[in-house]
């Protein structure tokens, strides 16, 4: 069992060159053998941890790239009936379809199809027409709510409270764990703080639980049950919570200098491995900010650059990346959390306190895991920045500007930091060490990865 590690500083350790070269050419089998051989040597502790984790990381990468070329073509042909192999290959060679060569075979990213339709207008135009009425309604509801927030005349920072009733269910797949073994589960649970108040636990299954403190940075409800052949292992929690929108009118000329206090120190420092002040990121931040000294204007320049230059993309599991913020800045693409991490890192480099928020985006017509950021401006306090939503609205100046400093009230907040330990402590390495939105599971022999369970969020609005 690969045990839970205290911190992930080891990911900043570069792999030995021979192992790195084997992975770069996709020779994972040889890389694994070389790692196992190296681990038999006397090694510095951090390098040993890096190599132990690399065995797990390789396995997870293979799960992300698990589709063979024939199957990938067949899956895409269901979306584009007139698809030809030449057209498919053109998109591969053009970088629109993500694949890796692994142990001599082309293996395609499991979610390459939605990314293709995001990246290629040609592919999108050829796609079989499908009804997206639900997504359109969800978008309309969001736009109307943002307009309502912008027109509000409330003096308070947190406005328009809404109560939601949520049920989350996680189900272990059959034959994952032998009968008679105990499975431990940590489900994300709403934390108290900022825009979110008045959380009420209604029920859990199993009934016995351990609930983390209300302001815990990654709040969970812990459940445990014995696997029995006669019934499926299902973990469920139901709760109500009250959340708010936030709309703050900032006057840049009223912005005050920071106090170099504990808050400032905590939220302007590095957090290895995904918030690191690398030479490239420091140079990039300097390029964006220039000679600007007002922290509000500096944060805007960072947000504006990300929303105009980083495209949204579905990505591999966070546990497979060595440095997420630098990955996004180098590849100019990433999902919501990756964009948030880049924003946080560049703000901290620029002397602006910034931190994480995540959980779910939930309205009546749509529910999905989501991440965003906060940044601190004195005397206004913590403001919000949702770069992925802002990037989606980049052609609508009002909506684009809204997601810099403000937030809608369709958020469920479970996490206020990354890479934090659960309570009670998880014994094995997590499926996602960075965040927690889908839940985590383990048994006596180790972690239970995402491919071994399903999750569902039910919104009883």
Q: What is the pLDDT of residue 231?
A: 77
384 touches 367 (CB < 8 A) = no
Query: Distance between CA atoms of 415 and 404, rounded to whole angstroms?
Result: 20
> What is the architecture of the domain spanning 133-461?
Roll (3.10)
Backbone angles phi, psi at 191, to 5 degrees: -95, 160
30-44, 112-126, 129-143, range with the lowest pLDDT:
129-143
278 touches 326 (CB < 8 A) = yes
Query: Distance between CA atoms of 385 and 218, rounded to whole angstroms?
Result: 19
Give per-residue pLDDT as tens, 285-342.
999 999 999 999 999 999 999 999 999 999 999 999 999 999 999 999 999 999 999 9
What Cα–Cα distance (Å) separates residue 307 from each residue in 330, 401, 453? 15, 10, 34
Give per-residue pLDDT as tens, 157-174.
999 999 999 999 999 999
Mean pLDDT of 13-41: 98
443 touches 181 (CB < 8 A) = yes
Query: Distance between CA atoms of 95 and 73, rounded to whole angstroms?
Result: 15
What Cα–Cα distance (Å) separates residue 378 from each residue in 171, 252, 253, 289, 295? 45, 10, 11, 18, 9
Mean pLDDT of 149-163: 91
440 touches 185 (CB < 8 A) = yes
- 133: confidence class by pLDDT, cuts 50, 70, 90: confident
State how beta strands 234-246 and 196-205 pair. antiparallel
Positions of CATH 3.10.620.30 in the chain = 133-461
Q: What is the pLDDT of residue 5?
A: 62
Give per-residue pLDDT as tens, 220-261.
999 999 999 877 899 999 999 999 999 999 999 999 999 999
Query: Distance between CA atoms of 406 and 375, rounded to whole angstroms?
Result: 11
Q: Where are the beta strands (DSSP E) in 156-219?
A: 158-172, 182-188, 196-205, 210-211
What Cα–Cα distance (Å) separates residue 406 from each residue in 12, 178, 263, 360, 386? 33, 48, 21, 17, 9
Give per-residue pLDDT as tens, 78-115.
999 999 999 999 999 999 999 999 999 999 999 999 99
Residue 260's contacts (CB-CB under 8 Å, 6 or more residues apart) are none
Give the residue carrying structure tokens 């910034």: 354
pLDDT at residue 131 is higher than 70: no
Q: What is the pLDDT of residue 461?
A: 60
Q: What is the pLDDT of residue 270?
A: 98
Whole-number mean pLDDT of the chain?
96
Q: What is the pTM of this model?
A: 0.97
Q: Considering only CA atoms, give the Rg of the chain.
A: 23
Q: What is the pLDDT of residue 132?
A: 74
Long-range contact pairs involving 444-448 (C-beta distance under 8 Å, separation at least 24): 444/181, 444/182, 445/1, 446/1, 446/2, 447/1, 447/2, 448/172, 448/176, 448/177, 448/183
- 7: confidence class by pLDDT, cuts 50, 70, 90: confident
pLDDT at residue 135 is higher than 90: no
**Hey, what are 156's tokens?**
């308070």
Mean pLDDT of 205-226: 98
Helix H or strand E segment including 287: helix 279-289
Q: What is the pLDDT of residue 154?
A: 82
Query: Distance between CA atoms of 56 and 5, rounded to whole angstroms?
Result: 13
Backbone angles phi, psi at 174, to 5 degrees: -60, 145
């Amino acid at each position: 069992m690969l045990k839970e590690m205290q911190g992930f500083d080891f990911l900043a350790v570069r792999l030995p060159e021979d192992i790195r070269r084997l992975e770069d050419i996709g020779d994972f089998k040889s890389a694994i053998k070389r790692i196992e051989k190296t681990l038999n040597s006397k090694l510095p502790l951090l390098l040993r941890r890096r190599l132990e984790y690399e065995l797990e990381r390789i396995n997870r990468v293979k799960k992300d790239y698990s589709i063979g070329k024939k199957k990938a073509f067949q899956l895409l042909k269901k979306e584009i009936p007139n698809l030809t192999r030449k057209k498919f290959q053109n998109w591969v060679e053009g970088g629109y379809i993500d694949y890796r060569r692994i142990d001599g075979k082309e293996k395609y990213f499991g979610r390459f199809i939605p990314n293709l339709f995001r990246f290629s207008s040609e592919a999108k135009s050829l796609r079989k027409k499908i009804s997206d009425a639900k997504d359109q309604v969800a978008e309309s509801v969001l736009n109307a709510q943002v307009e309502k927030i912008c027109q509000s005349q409330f003096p308070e920072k947190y406005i328009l409270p809404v109560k939601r009733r949520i049920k989350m269910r996680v189900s272990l797949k059959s034959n994952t764990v032998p009968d008679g073994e105990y499975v431990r589960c940590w489900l994300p649970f709403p934390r108290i703080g900022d825009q979110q108040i008045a959380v009420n636990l209604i029920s859990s299954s199993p009934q016995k639980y351990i609930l983390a403190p209300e302001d815990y940075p990654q709040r969970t409800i812990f459940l445990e049950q014995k696997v029995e052949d006669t019934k499926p292992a299902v973990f469920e929690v139901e709760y109500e919570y009250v959340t708010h929108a936030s709309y703050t009118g900032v006057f840049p000329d009223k912005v005050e200098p920071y106090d170099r206090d504990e808050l400032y120190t905590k939220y302007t420092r590095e957090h290895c491995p995904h918030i690191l002040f690398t030479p490239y990121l420091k140079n990039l931040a300097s390029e964006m900010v220039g000679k600007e000294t007002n922290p509000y204007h500096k944060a805007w320049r960072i947000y504006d650059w990300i929303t105009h230059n980083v495209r949204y993309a579905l990505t591999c599991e966070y546990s497979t990346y060595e440095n997420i913020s630098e990955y996004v800045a180098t590849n100019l693409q990433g999902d919501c959390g990756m964009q948030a991490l880049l924003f946080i890192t560049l703000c901290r480099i620029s002397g602006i306190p910034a931190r994480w928020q995540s959980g779910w985006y939930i309205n009546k017509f749509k529910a999905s895991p989501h991440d965003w950021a906060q940044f601190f401006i004195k005397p206004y306090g913590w403001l919000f920045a949702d770069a992925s939503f802002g990037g989606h609205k980049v052609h609508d100046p009002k909506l684009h500007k809204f997601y810099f400093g403000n937030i809608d009230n369709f958020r469920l907040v479970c996490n206020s930091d990354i890479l934090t330990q659960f309570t009670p402590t998880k014994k094995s390495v997590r499926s996602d060490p960075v965040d927690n939105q889908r839940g985590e599971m383990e048994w006596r022999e180790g972690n239970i990865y995402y491919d071994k369970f399903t999750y569902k969020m039910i919104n009883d609005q």
